[in-house]
């Protein structure tokens, strides 16, 4: 095989997955006690019944550490050579979250950096990590999505407070071949800054979201990106065994599945239990679904997301055979 063909066959392969959620759960009943809304209204509009919310003693970095440690413990033995963290809610504007995460994991000295792409951040991070592997900058990359989005809405905003929760998810990528299970397909990414004001927050407690326009854009962009990613992978949409959409709203994900012509039993979801966890949404759903055996070895899987920016994306992989001992004992909890 020539050097060119070797590069063409090189791919980023998922070899570990982890998740972390704060132990404190806020139910719809808890919210109706202080907001002008009802449990039925929240559930019918969003599909959400509860969300996990971090206290002041649990930071974005803390959540990221728990998820990353789980991904490393339950995955193939690897030596991490780079760390990429996707987050909209870092603990500080400066320095970034990733170097602190790396050091707490005993990875001092490896390249580590953050990126911000809203709820699509995890897909952007996957693409970046795959690029590091393709460029031979790193043979293994830890990718983490972590957010504390429950801090962003105004405390009395009944339309946005019920939507958001906190959490983190992680995957480990290693250099491998494009024809093996776990290999990422081409990552389709896009953005449109003309819609920047549709989802915006200048600081905690100031979130604004234009729900109707966000719904329309989310369905359209995620459906289009999904078709593009499937085509780039050489798949027909009907080849997809599991659709893993960003968990913002059950109505959005149902509409996306419908647009793609996929039956509901192929659409994975956990928004009812965790709400919208931002960049953590996709890896949390992967971890939980793998632990529950809803996502199994050989499943042709499509990931797609949409969020602030506006930004969106999609990618594919055939789910690998991972040993998820700790996840099966209690996936998603940081303690």
Catalytic sites, residue numbers: 119, 246, 276
- Residue 129 burial (CB < 10 Å; 0-12/13-18/19+)? buried
Structure tokens at 204: 């905690």
Distance CA 247, CA 37 (A): 22
Distance CA 174, CA 156 (A): 44
Angle at 179 between CA 305 and CA 245, to 5 degrees: 15
**Number of neighbouring beta carbons within 10 Å of residue 227:** 19
**Number of neighbouring beta carbons within 10 Å of residue 154:** 15
Among the listed residues 253, 260, 233, 245, the one whose alpha carbon sits nearest the alpha carbon of residue 316: 233
SS (H, E, C) 256-272: HHHHHCCCHHHECCCHH
Contact between 84 and 120 (Cβ < 8 Å): no
Rg of the chain over Cα atoms, rounded to whole angstroms, equals 18
Contact between 103 and 140 (Cβ < 8 Å): no
Phi/psi region, residue 173 (left: phi>0; alpha: psi -120 to 50; beta: rest), is beta
Distance CA 187, CA 14 (A): 14
């Amino acid at each position: 095989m020539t050097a060119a063909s070797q590069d063409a066959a090189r791919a980023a392969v998922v070899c570990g997955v982890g998740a972390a959620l704060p132990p404190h759960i806020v139910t719809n009943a808890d919210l109706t006690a202080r907001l002008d809304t009802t449990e039925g209204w929240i559930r019918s509009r969003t599909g959400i019944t509860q969300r996990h919310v971090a206290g002041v003693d649990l930071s974005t970095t803390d959540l990221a550490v728990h998820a990353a440690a789980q991904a490393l413990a339950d995955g193939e033995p690897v030596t991490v050579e780079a760390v990429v963290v996707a987050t909209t809610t870092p603990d500080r504007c400066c320095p970034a979250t990733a170097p602190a995460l790396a050091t707490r994991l005993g990875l001092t000295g490896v390249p580590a950096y953050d990126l911000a792409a809203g709820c699509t951040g995890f897909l952007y991070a996957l693409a970046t990590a795959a690029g590091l592997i393709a460029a031979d900058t790193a043979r293994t990359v830890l990718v983490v999505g972590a957010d504390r989005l429950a801090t962003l809405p105004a405390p009395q905003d009944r339309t946005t407070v019920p939507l958001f929760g906190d959490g983190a998810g992680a995957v480990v990528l290693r250099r491998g071949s494009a024809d093996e299970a776990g290999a990422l397909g081409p990552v389709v990414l896009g953005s449109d800054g003309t819609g920047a004001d549709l989802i915006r927050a200048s600081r905690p407690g100031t979130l604004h979201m234009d729900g109707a326009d966000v719904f329309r854009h989310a369905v359209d962009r995620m459906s289009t990106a999904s078709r593009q990613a499937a085509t780039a992978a050489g798949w027909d949409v009907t080849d997809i065994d599991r659709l893993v959409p960003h968990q913002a709203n059950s109505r959005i994900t149902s509409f996306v599945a419908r647009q793609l012509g996929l039956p509901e039993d192929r659409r994975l979801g956990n928004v009812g239990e965790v709400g919208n966890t931002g960049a953590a949404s996709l890896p949390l759903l992967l971890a939980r679904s793998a632990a529950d055996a809803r996502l199994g070895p050989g499943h042709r899987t499509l990931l797609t997301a949409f969020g602030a920016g506006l930004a969106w994306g999609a990618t594919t992989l055939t789910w690998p055979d991972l040993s998820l001992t700790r996840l099966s004992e209690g996936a998603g909890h940081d303690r």
